């Protein structure tokens, strides 16, 4: 799933997976979808005649008619409880009679709420604001000529004025867009569905980190842009409506095949998963140079624990039994034939488990266990200082430069929680760490290392626990992203997205993966991609018990940092 990240907006591409058909020859335009219970409802409209349809399984079961000839021009659909709310006009067009129509699931009209005073030029999308009260977010109608800024209002049923109004930047993300629909999720924010001209098969979803507690009048920039493009024999593939079910985005589309056949249908973005408060998506992961057990021929080392760039060259530490730690580097690290070069071997346990390392102030700072950090000379790798960080309760896991003089960001794992600190390394050998906040790690088993960049934010590498002893394949790793700017108003921070790397059963040589642990990441400013080091064990076959180390460098090769 290719994409770019500029520190503010993540842009990725996804392909919709086709689901069930939405048939109805008397109505041609899918205008909205919503889920009540286990059923998916949708409205299709032609002129001022609308049909309500439903299906129990939008992936395989064709939608069937619930009620025909609703006398409205439908523009959107949402639900609250067991009721449907349709955004509509009493004529074909936008503005003048914009109305929210309340329906039961049989299509019976239960009430109307005219919002023409709030949206005098019309509206093009409706979504429930909290799912409990009759409160809605409405997207105002905007023509394609002035769609650079989108306007939204929060309205309560039968209230004469909007509760609040905010805007969203809709320029600078690609093609000029036609607005289609919106969907709001209390954890993930506001989704805005758009598409290009009918024949280009190009669609786009803007995701805004908007929540109902935010200030009135605020202007938002999308946190994520999902380009949803379709290839194949189509004259048209326009996404028209959006909602969420089973942790995935569900869409309804107007489809015209190359021979002119209408095949309106549901579709799903399976490559993106929404769970808890975090969404994750698949990211390409490419293998590079191996880091063998004997980087230094005099010592056998088994754990490739950390990576940090000095200029354009990645340095690493590979250690064994928390006693021997070898500092080395690999200039051409994405060349599978490249040979890592050892710099120095510390054999006195100085570097401990060497969980994390960061290069700044012409030193490598290495987390060496509990509350100890060791500074190594960047050129020789020799010891320059050993710091005992206070408080003594710290159980340091990772370190990264914090873009302040001699200052690093520290990750401490205490009582199962991930706590962030910052610490300035000066003349004293016992510097004090300052607590910044707690970062949550929902659904991810083991936290490994951190990488921080003042533009791109904080990344935390996670992996499944190493179950090689139980002969269990563990190849799923997730790199979580956090926006540290939010710590100014919060003491507990949730990740906003994550890159998932699901490794195949076998590597390029046909060897079976037995375990695959993401250990550490760092940004290569030359390639503008993230480099990683991983501990990897393979075997010849599923029945074989002999494990062979394939530790080495990898790259998140489908995400570019711009």
Query: Which residues, at least 6 apart from 320, have a Cβ–Cβ distance to it below 8 Å?
Result: 299, 300, 301, 302, 303
Which two three-digit tokens encode residue 451? Answer: 């990488």
Name the helix (H) or strand (E) containing 138: strand 135-140
Q: Quote the DSSP letter at residue 511.
A: P
Report the DSSP pairing between strands 224-229 and 219-220: unpaired
Q: Tell me the average pLDDT across 371-377.
A: 97
What pLDDT score does 473 carry?
Answer: 54
What's the pLDDT tens digit per position in 286-333? 999 999 999 999 999 999 999 999 999 999 999 999 999 999 999 999
Structural contact between residues 254 and 30, judged by C-beta atoms closer than 8 angstroms: yes
Lowest average pLDDT, out of 5-19, 115-129, 383-397, 509-523, goes to: 509-523
Residue 466 pLDDT level (bands cut at 50, 70, 90):
very low
Q: Which of 53-67, 146-160, 530-544 has the highest mean pLDDT?
A: 53-67
Q: Please choose, from the candidates 470, 460, 467, the residue with its C-alpha nearest in 3D space to the C-alpha of residue 440.
A: 460
* Torsion sign, CA atoms 526, 367, 302, 460: negative
Residue 469 pLDDT level (bands cut at 50, 70, 90):
very low
> Whole-model pTM?
0.93
Residue 476 pLDDT level (bands cut at 50, 70, 90):
confident
**Residue 149 above 80 pLDDT?**
yes
Burial code (b: 16+ CB inside 10 Å, e: under 16) for 161-184 equals: ebbbbbebbbeebeeebbbbbbbb
Residue 504 pLDDT level (bands cut at 50, 70, 90):
confident
Residue 144 pLDDT level (bands cut at 50, 70, 90):
confident
- What are the angstrom distances between the C-alpha of 265 and each of 17, 86, 196, 252? 10, 19, 18, 6
DSSP sequence for 185-215: ETTTEEEEEEE--TTS-EEEEEEE---TTSP
State whether residue 488 is helix, strand or coil. Answer: helix
Report the DSSP pairing between strands 3-5 and 559-561: parallel
CA dihedral 499, 504, 508, 513 (to 10 degrees): 100
Residue 183's beta-bridge partner residues?
191
What's the pLDDT tens digit per position in 77-127? 999 999 999 999 999 889 989 999 999 999 999 999 999 999 999 999 999
């Amino acid at each position: 799933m290719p994409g770019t990240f500029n520190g503010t907006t993540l842009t990725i591409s996804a392909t919709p997976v086709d689901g069930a058909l939405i048939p109805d020859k008397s109505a041609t335009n899918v205008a909205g979808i919503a889920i009540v219970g286990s059923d998916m409802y949708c409205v299709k409209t032609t002129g001022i005649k609308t049909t309500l349809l439903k299906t129990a399984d939008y992936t395989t079961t064709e939608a069937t008619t619930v009620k025909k000839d609703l006398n409205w021009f439908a523009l959107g659909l949402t639900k609250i409880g067991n009721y449907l709310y349709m955004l509509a006009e009493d004529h074909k067009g936008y503005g003048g009679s914009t109305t929210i129509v309340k329906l039961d699931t049989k299509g019976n009209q239960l009430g109307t709420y005219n919002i023409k005073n709030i949206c005098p030029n019309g509206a093009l999308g409706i979504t429930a604001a909290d799912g409990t009260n009759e409160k809605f977010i409405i997207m105002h109608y905007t023509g394609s000529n002035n769609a650079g800024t989108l306007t939204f209002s929060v309205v309560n049923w039968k209230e004469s004025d909007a509760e609040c109004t905010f805007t969203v930047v809709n320029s600078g993300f690609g093609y000029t867009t036609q607005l289609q629909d919106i969907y709001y999720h209390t954890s993930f924010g506001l989704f805005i569905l758009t598409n290009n001209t009918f024949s280009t098969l190009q669609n786009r979803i803007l995701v805004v980190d908007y929540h109902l507690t935010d200030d009135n009048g605020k202007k938002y920039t999308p946190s994520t842009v999902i380009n949803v493009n379709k290839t194949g024999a189509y004259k048209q593939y326009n996404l028209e409506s959006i909602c969420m079910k089973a942790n995935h985005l569900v869409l309804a589309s107007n489809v015209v095949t190359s021979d002119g056949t209408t095949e309106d249908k549901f579709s799903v973005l399976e490559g993106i998963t929404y769970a808890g408060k975090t969404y994750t998506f698949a990211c390409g992961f490419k293998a590079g140079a191996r880091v063998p057990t004997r980087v230094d021929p005099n010592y056998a080392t088994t754990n490739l624990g950390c990576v940090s760039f000095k200029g354009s060259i990645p340095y690493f530490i590979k250690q064994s039994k928390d006693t021997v730690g070898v500092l080395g580097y690999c200039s051409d690290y994405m060349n599978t034939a490249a040979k890592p070069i050892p710099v120095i071997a510390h054999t006195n346990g100085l570097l401990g488990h060497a969980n994390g390392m960061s290069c700044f102030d012409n030193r490598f700072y290495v987390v060496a266990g509990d509350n100890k950090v060791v500074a190594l000379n960047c050129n020789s790798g020799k010891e320059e200082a050993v710091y005992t960080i206070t408080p003594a309760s710290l159980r340091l896991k990772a370190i990264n430069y914090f873009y302040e003089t001699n200052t690093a960001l520290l990750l401490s794992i205490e009582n199962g929680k991930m706590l962030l600190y910052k610490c300035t390394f000066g003349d004293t050998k016992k510097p004090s760490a300052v607590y910044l906040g707690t970062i949550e790690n929902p659904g991810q088993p083991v936290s490994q290392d951190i990488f921080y960049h003042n533009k791109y934010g904080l990344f935390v590498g996670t992996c499944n626990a190493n179950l090689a002893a139980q002969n269990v394949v563990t190849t799923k790793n997730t790199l979580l992203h956090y926006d540290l700017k939010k710590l100014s108003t919060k003491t507990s921070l949730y990740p906003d997205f994550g890159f998932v790397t699901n490794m195949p059963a076998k590597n390029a040589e046909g060897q079976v993966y037995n375990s695959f642990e993401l250990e550490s990441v760092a940004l290569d400013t030359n390639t503008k991609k993230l480099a990683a080091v991983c501990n990897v064990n393979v075997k010849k076959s599923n029945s074989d018990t002999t494990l062979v180390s394939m530790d080495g460098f990898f790259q998140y090769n489908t995400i570019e940092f711009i």
